[in-house]
């Protein structure tokens, strides 16, 4: 699974570097020939870039292009997307299980698309529970990883009456009459403790990993008993799937979980966008590109909400960095020259500069935010 610590280290990569984002999805018709379509696109795009740079730079670009081509021939990626950063002192390849757009950049490593993908695909969690164990999974960027496991173990140290002790064969109980009732009560008390501990662990784990949402899956009884023991604030970020998932392969388990998680996310996003739009013009929310950008750069934003696929171009001062939609070529604040820059290139950088979380919304939430707010809004500090 993609390592977030590794992603955070990427801005430290030395320039110049050739950054390639490639749609390597084997299911894409253009990638089923020989050579694959992404290799043809890569060479064609590199030629165009080479025509706009100096001869010395062109030599280095060609050297890095050959490195990437060798890697593609050797690795033959089966992932849906691939990001590669190649330079004289740099090499990073990042397989991705989500769709990417073909991009090629020369110079400073370009992290824009990778940052957008990270914002579009927030991590979620899943806990598969039954009467024997609870397994904890993290889902992110199309991948699933098992992180923790908690086994149910019967503690019989206090069960002094040997007639109430279970035999050595699991699942076989030979107690009689009232002894059977006492044994069952003690056993159920331990199950109850197991479900309570699992609920507490889900709460702490989802908070630590910043998961949204966490799905609890398994037989109906187990799911219900864990659900009832969750703290009320945690339940607002939980969805359930009452199906036994314990014996499934990870890939099949993921296929069962993802539609449920996506459905929860779309409903949650629409609720948040509706609340944001209802509060526009007040002290808690900003809506629209102009107001949101201004509040963001004033340090007054705590969270951005952006419609998936939002595009457009802005102008940014090369001297002080102030960014807006104003067509002025000179910055009103410092007099510096203003350059045109894609919104998708500058927004992730501004968000990280001001330590602001970004949530990218899709579906009905995205449509409503575009129709009523230029596709962008923010919760204010």
Residue 32 CB neighbours (<10 A): 10
Is the same domain home to 240 and 151? yes
Cα dihedral value 220, 223, 229, 234, nearest 10: -130
Q: Which of 79, 110, 141 is the last residue of a domain?
A: 110
Give pLDDT, residue 63: 97
Give pLDDT, residue 168: 52
Is the same domain home to 151 and 219? yes
Domain that residue 69 falls in? 4-110
Overall pTM surpassing 0.85 (yes/no) = no
DSSP 233: H
Using one digit for the tens of pLDDT, what is the confidence trace for 297-306?
A: 999 999 999 9
| Residue 269 in tokens | 């996003």
Q: Please report, in angstroms and rounded to a whole number, the separation of the first and last CA atoms in the chain.
A: 33
Is the same domain home to 363 and 286? yes
- With a cut of 60, say whether residue 224 has pLDDT above it: yes
Angle at 160 between CA 159 and CA 166, to 5 degrees: 55
Using one digit for the tens of pLDDT, what is the confidence trace for 315-342?
A: 999 999 999 999 999 999 899 999 999 9
Any domain includes 43: yes
Any domain includes 259: no
Using one digit for the tens of pLDDT, what is the confidence trace for 64-101?
A: 999 999 999 999 999 999 999 999 999 999 999 998 99
Q: How many folded domains does the chain comprise?
A: 3
Q: What is the mean pLDDT of the chain?
A: 91
Using one digit for the tens of pLDDT, what is the confidence trace for 256-299?
A: 999 999 999 999 999 999 999 999 989 999 999 999 999 999 99
Check which CATH number belongs to the domain holding 348 and give it. 3.30.1330.30
Give pLDDT, residue 162: 46
Is the same domain home to 32 and 106? yes
Check which CATH number belongs to the domain holding 133 and give it. 3.30.420.60
Using one digit for the tens of pLDDT, what is the confidence trace for 357-381?
A: 999 999 999 999 999 999 999 999 9
- With a cut of 90, say whether residue 30 has pLDDT above it: yes
- With a cut of 80, say whether residue 253 has pLDDT above it: yes
Cα 374 to Cα 196, 279, 332, 354, distances in angstroms: 45, 16, 24, 21
């Amino acid at each position: 699974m993609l390592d977030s610590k590794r992603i955070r280290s990427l801005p430290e990569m030395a320039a110049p570097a050739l950054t390639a984002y490639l749609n390597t999805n084997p299911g894409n018709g253009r990638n089923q020939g020989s050579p694959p379509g992404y290799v043809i696109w890569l060479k064609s795009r590199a030629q165009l870039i080479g025509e706009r740079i100096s001869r010395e730079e062109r030599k280095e670009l060609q050297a890095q292009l050959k490195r990437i081509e060798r890697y593609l021939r050797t690795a033959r990626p089966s992932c849906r997307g691939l990001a590669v950063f190649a330079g004289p002192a740099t090499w990073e390849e990042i397989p991705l299980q989500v769709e990417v757009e073909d991009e090629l950049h020369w110079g400073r490593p370009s992290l824009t698309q990778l940052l957008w993908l990270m914002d579009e695909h927030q991590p979620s969690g899943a806990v598969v529970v039954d009467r024997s164990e609870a397994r904890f999974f993290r889902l992110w960027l199309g991948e699933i990883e098992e992180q923790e496991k908690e086994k149910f173990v019967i503690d019989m140290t206090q069960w002094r009456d040997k007639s109430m002790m279970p035999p050595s064969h699991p699942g076989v109980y030979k107690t009689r009459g009232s002894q059977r009732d006492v044994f069952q009560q003690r056993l159920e008390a331990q199950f109850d403790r197991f479900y309570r501990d699992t609920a507490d662990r889900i709460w702490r784990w989802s908070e630590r990993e910043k998961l949204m949402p966490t799905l609890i899956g398994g037989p109906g009884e187990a799911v219900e008993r864990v659900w009832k023991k969750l703290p009320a604030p945690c339940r607002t970020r939980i969805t359930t799937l009452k199906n036994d998932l314990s014996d499934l392969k990870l890939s099949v388990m993921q296929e069962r979980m993802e539609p449920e998680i996506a459905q929860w996310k779309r409903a949650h996003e629409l609720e948040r966008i509706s609340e944001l739009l209802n509060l526009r013009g007040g002290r808690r929310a900003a809506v629209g590109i102009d107001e949101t950008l201004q509040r963001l750069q004033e340090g007054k934003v705590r969270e951005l909400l952006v419609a998936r696929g939002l595009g457009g171009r802005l102008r940014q001062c090369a001297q002080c960095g102030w960014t807006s939609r104003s067509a002025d070529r000179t910055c009103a604040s410092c007099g510096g020259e203003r350059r045109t820059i894609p919104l998708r290139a500058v927004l992730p950088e501004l968000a990280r500069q001001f330590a602001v979380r970004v949530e990218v919304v899709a579906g009905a939430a995205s449509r409503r935010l575009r129709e009523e707010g230029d596709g962008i809004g923010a919760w204010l500090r």
